[in-house]
Amino acid sequence: MSAPELLTVQDVAQRLRVAARTVWRWSKSGALPAPLRLGPARRTIRWKAADIDDFLRRVLDTLPTRDSDLY
């Protein structure tokens, strides 16, 4: 079993196409999956790539489609 891919705040921001500050704000509000705290002082913060990809899929699934009544 391989280790999960871990993302920095900059990686998450790039993947979601938002600013790093937005990632921190969404994380604090609970909108994003909770990050992992690593290291002896638990100061290294990373997100699992699979969790971020799932979040992005859920967000995209809520957007209207071309065939919806909104168009």
pLDDT at 21: 98
Domain boundaries, the chain: 6-61
For residue 59, what are its two tokens?
């967000």
* Phi-psi sector, 19: left (phi>0), alpha (psi -120 to 50), beta: beta
pLDDT tens for 25-38 read: 999 999 999 999 99
In this structure, the dihedral spanned by the alpha carbons of residues 30, 34, 38 and 42, taken in order and rounded to 10 degrees, is 20
pLDDT for the residue numbered 69: 56
- In CATH, the number for domain 6-61 is 1.10.10
Mean pLDDT of the chain: 91
